Amino acid sequence: MPQYKLTYFNLRGRAEISRYIFAYSGKKYEDHRIEAADWPKIKPTIPFGKLPVLEVDGVIIHQSLAMARYLAREAGLAGQTPVEQALADAIVDTIDDFMTLFPWGEKNQDVRKKAFDDILTNKAPELLKDLDTFLGDKKWLVGNSVTWADFYWDVCSTTLLSCKPDLADKYPRLLALRERVQALPAIAAWIQKRPKTVM
């Protein structure tokens, strides 16, 4: 079995999707969390200078969604057919496009709050409406079984709801999907034991 090492800050952030997949698959890995104060000296040693990275038997994979897509394929969570895999990728990319709108690194709290409020008020409803339409009355976003797209919705919506708790109140099907993901025994166990972080 490969040796896995996941390196990121002590946050859910862009590494949490990979942690969900590890939890669900039961694969052992090193969850290496670094402190922000140590980042300047670690950064030059990281390919492309960004976190997270995933080491697989010493080979370093960068880009959070490339890492997660690899892990999803290994765990049978990428979709059952090539078309399902493409649809799962498309949903993940759609959610990620939205998440990258936020100025996560903005240090001016007034500027940050204004931007977050604007995105959550004016742009989020369109995304939620489209996701709800795509999900419809299905149990999972893609196909007949859970995929990493369902996990990514849960990971990202957890962060969004911490910013605006009533964000998805008009979309009970999307909230029910979150509940289904969080009820999966391995995911429930991970959520219970993971470090409590702001995002």
Catalytic residues: 8, 14, 104
| Neighbouring C-beta atoms of residue 80, cutoff 10 Å | 14
The 3-state DSSP class for residue 53 equals strand
Residue 67 to residue 148: CA distance in whole angstroms: 12
The 3-state DSSP class for residue 8 equals strand
Instruction: State how beta strands 53-56 and 30-34 pair.
Output: unpaired
Residue 135, amino acid = L
